Structure 1
Amino acid sequence: MNPLNRLHWFVLVLFIPVWTRAQVTDRKVDVVYKLSEATGEYLFKASNPNLCEYTVQVDVVDVVGMRSSVKLPYVGSVKPGETTLFSLKPTKMGEAASFRYLYTATRGRLFQAEPPTYLYTLPVAPGQPVLVQETQAMGKVLGVKNVRLTNYTSLVFQVKNGDTVFAARRGVVINRLDGWAATARDDVRESNLVEISHADGTFAQYARLKAGSLLVKLGETVEVGQPLGLVGELPGLPPTIHFSVRYLPPVEVQPSKEYKYIHLRPKFSALTIESGDYLISGRTYEATRPVELITQEMSKREIKRYLKQ
């Protein structure tokens, strides 16, 4: 293979997002109502069978003779399990009343401001030097407008084949894709991965993992520095870890709104940068895992227990 062509191919791979594969384990969020025969009130509830919060928007249309307990359309976050949303009551008992409703459910919590800043550790072993590349969607690089990927950004860590990938922040495993092995260049859009939901409503994805190497289960709470799996490889390409963080941004509520994610640039702690700074693309950093980062999202009781270990 021509070395120059090989380099061009590597750059191309860096810009191919894999978030589209992260939705396969989602389960349907249901919004239903229950009618009280005594009062004529319709009580709306959401049932979320997933492992993280979802944002639901409920549009009520063609309303006749009813009033809502909240401003419509209803938009709110629902945790796993059942959540009461709002109610519709007849404006006058005994008179005709009717309505129709439709809803959407999107993974994540709808932020009203940018998420709070948390520090991340590099997803490699402490003391390991790692070269970092910051990437964007190919459409943005080439000047092709794509609303879904406008804010896409990812960090690519160049590592060695078989290296262990570690959790950069505490969270709950909400998605894992395993058992896929790359066999050709056309497969670069596929990836084994782990997706983790953080307490602040953001999501982190660790992609390009080795088939059959994942060490965590769905619903498992992982701590900073916990092994997630091993680094995989693509034919003819150097091994890398693709890491990205996203969230649902504040938007103007509209009927049947489809919410879009924003990818944020996380701040890291490393030996070769000021703590709490952004990584600079093209530089090499040495990983560190200070106790204050391991415990930054633990309760006082959890910290006390951890320090006794």
Structure 2
Amino acid sequence: MRYLLGFIFMLSSISSFAQIEIETERDKDGNVIISAFNSSSVPYTLQFDFSRLQNLSAAGGGNPMGISNPGTSRVLTLKRVNSSQGTDFSYSYRYIKGNIYSKSKIDPLYLIPVKEGVAVRGVSMTHIENRLQPKEQNDMFVGVAFYLPEEVTIVAPRKGYISDMKMDYTAGKNDLDFARSENYIEIYHADGTLTQIKVLKAGSELVKIGQQVFPGDPLATSAGENYQNGRHVRVIPLRVSKDEEGKIHSEIYPIKFVLDGGYETIEKPVESTVIHPEEIITLEMTKKELKNRAKK
């Protein structure tokens, strides 16, 4: 049996229609202070493209970046070069959810996002272009799907905060190969990356935006019974990266899962019984969080 799952990448869905508002002001020395208001609950990476920069300089060259944290934050300063001359500037900007500068002190490991004890089959998903243009193979990594024997509880694969969700989609067709819309819950992690958990039962969410979750915490109920290959859950890890031209974009990248036989990225189909080792659950906990867990 071939496991083919379509993937459609839309920046608007990953950005979740965030409202990033930019404001500029000049200080007493004629420098330009650029601030951003972020109405979401997680950071965004901004990148500026200056078409005109007269008597001003920006750290980072022609396409400087900044981080817009929730609320209002300063993201960039344009320094006045010559105090005796006037200044002028014109720019455009783009923004991607996540923090390109944040790093992890450890090599993160991810639970299979399914309740413990369930036997699953993990497969690397296939890009939708391979269905629409079969003569041109697209090998870009687009995430992992875990096939399920029955309706089960879906759990958090890693510590983080709930950053977004869409849980009101009800499938109207059966025998689907792919769908343009799916219910999902998104988690933001301390290293600036995100994980989207997709194909969830409408209205089954057990968390809310802004809530902290730890590996193994229940998120929602699985779905996918209307697909050709049956019930499954998809895991899509996202991070902010730069392309060959230095422009920021949202990249889907491989991650290591905890299997019953060790840790590995899933490139070929693999069968595993879901396990939730204590050392993985506590891997990213602070001393305070570890102390609180020990009291339970």
Deviation of 1:94 after TM superposition, in Å, equals: 5.2
State the shift of 1:303 in Å.
0.5
Give the equivalent residue in structure 1 for 2:114.
124
Query: Which one-letter code corresponds to 1:200 in the other structure?
Result: D
User: Is 1:221 matched up with 2:238?
Assistant: no
Structure 2 unmatched ranges of 5 or more: none
- Aligned partner (choices 7, 30, 50) of residue 17 of structure 1: 7
Is 1:87 the counterpart of 2:77 in the alignment? Answer: yes
Q: SS where residue 264 of structure 2 aligns?
A: coil
Equivalent residue, structure 2, for 1:212 = 203
Q: Could you say what secondary structure the match of 1:215 adopts?
A: coil
Structure 2 match to 1:300: 287
Q: Describe how 1:1-309 pairs up with structure 2 within 5 A.
A: 11=3, 14-17=4-7, 20=10, 22-23=13-14, 25-36=16-27, 38-68=28-58, 71-93=61-83, 95-110=85-100, 117-140=107-130, 142-144=134-136, 151-185=140-174, 188-235=179-226, 237=228, 238-252=230-244, 254=246, 257=247, 259-271=248-260, 273-274=261-262, 276-279=263-266, 281-309=268-296
8 A Cα contact 1:215 1:228, kept in partner: yes
- The DSSP-based 3-state class of the residue aligned with 2:216 is coil
Paired with 2:218 and 2:64, the residues of 1 have a C-alpha distance of 40
Structure 1 residue 302, shift from structure 2 partner: 0.9
Q: Distance in 2 between matches of 1:213 and 1:112?
A: 32
Q: TM-score, normalised by structure 1?
A: 0.82
State whether residues 35 and 72 of structure 2, in contact with CA within 8 Å, keep that contact through their aligned partners in structure 1.
yes
SS at match of 1:225: coil
Quick check: 182-191 or 127-136, which moved more? 182-191
1:116 deviation in Å?
Answer: 5.7
Once the two structures are TM-superposed, the CA of residue 172 in structure 1 deviates from its matched residue by 1.1
Could you tell me whether the CA contact under 8 Å between 2:56 and 2:81 is conserved in 1? yes
Using the alignment, how far apart are the partners of 1:78 and 1:227 within structure 2? Answer: 30
* Cα distance in structure 1, aligned partners of 2:167 and 2:78: 45
Aligned AA (1:39) = D
Q: Residue 70 of structure 1: CA displacement?
A: 5.7
Structure 1 CA distance for aligned equivalents of residues 104 and 251 of structure 2:
10
Would the alpha carbon gap of residues 138 and 65 (structure 1) be closer, same or farther in structure 2, given more than 3 Å must change? closer
Task: Give the superposition deviation at 1:229.
Answer: 0.6
| TM-score, with structure 2 as normaliser | 0.86
CA deviation profile, 1:172-200 (whole Å, cap 9, x unmatched): 11111112111115772221111111111
Contact 1:151/1:262 (8 A) holds in 2 = no
Q: Deviations over 1:47-106 (max 9, x none)?
A: 222222211112233233334466443113332222223333444445433221221111
Amino acid at match of 1:178: M
1:253-275 CA-partner distances (Å, limit 9, x unpaired): 65xx3x3333222212232x12x
Return the structure number with greater helix share. Answer: 1
* Cα distance change of structure 1 residues 65 and 281 upon mapping to structure 2, 3 Å threshold: closer
Deviating more after overlay: 63-72 vs 199-208: 63-72
* Whole-angstrom CA distance in 1 between matches of 2:20 and 2:69: 11
SS at match of 1:124: coil
Q: Hey, what's the Cα distance between the residues in 2 that align with 1:53 and 1:175?
A: 12
**How many angstroms does 1:163 deviate by?**
0.9
Paired AA for residue 50 in structure 2: V
Instruction: Report if the CA contact (8 A) 2:122-2:266 is conserved.
Output: yes
**Does the Cα contact within 8 Å between 1:111 and 1:249 map onto a contact in 2?**
no
Q: Deviations over 1:15-59 (max 9, x none)?
A: 2125537437332212221123x4322211222222222111122
Per the TM alignment, residue 224 of structure 1 is displaced from its structure 2 partner at its CA by 0.7
Which structure: larger Rg?
1
Match of 1:242, as an amino acid? R
Q: Tell me: CA distance 1:175–1:267, structure 2 relative to 1, closer, same or farther (3 Å).
A: same
Aligned CA RMSD, in angstroms, stands at 2.8
**Matched-pair identity in %:** 23
- Partner residue in 2 for 1:3: none
How far did residue 111 of structure 1 move?
5.9
SS of 1:17's partner is: coil
Instruction: Tell me how far apart the structure 2 counterparts of residues 293 and 62 of structure 1 sit (CA, whole Å).
Output: 50
Deviations 1:89-145 (A, max 9, x none): 444445433221221111122269999621111111212211122222032573537
Task: Quickly say closer, same or farther: Cα 1:160–1:196, change in 2 above 3 A.
Answer: same
Is the CA contact 1:113–1:250 (under 8 Å) kept in the aligned structure 2? no
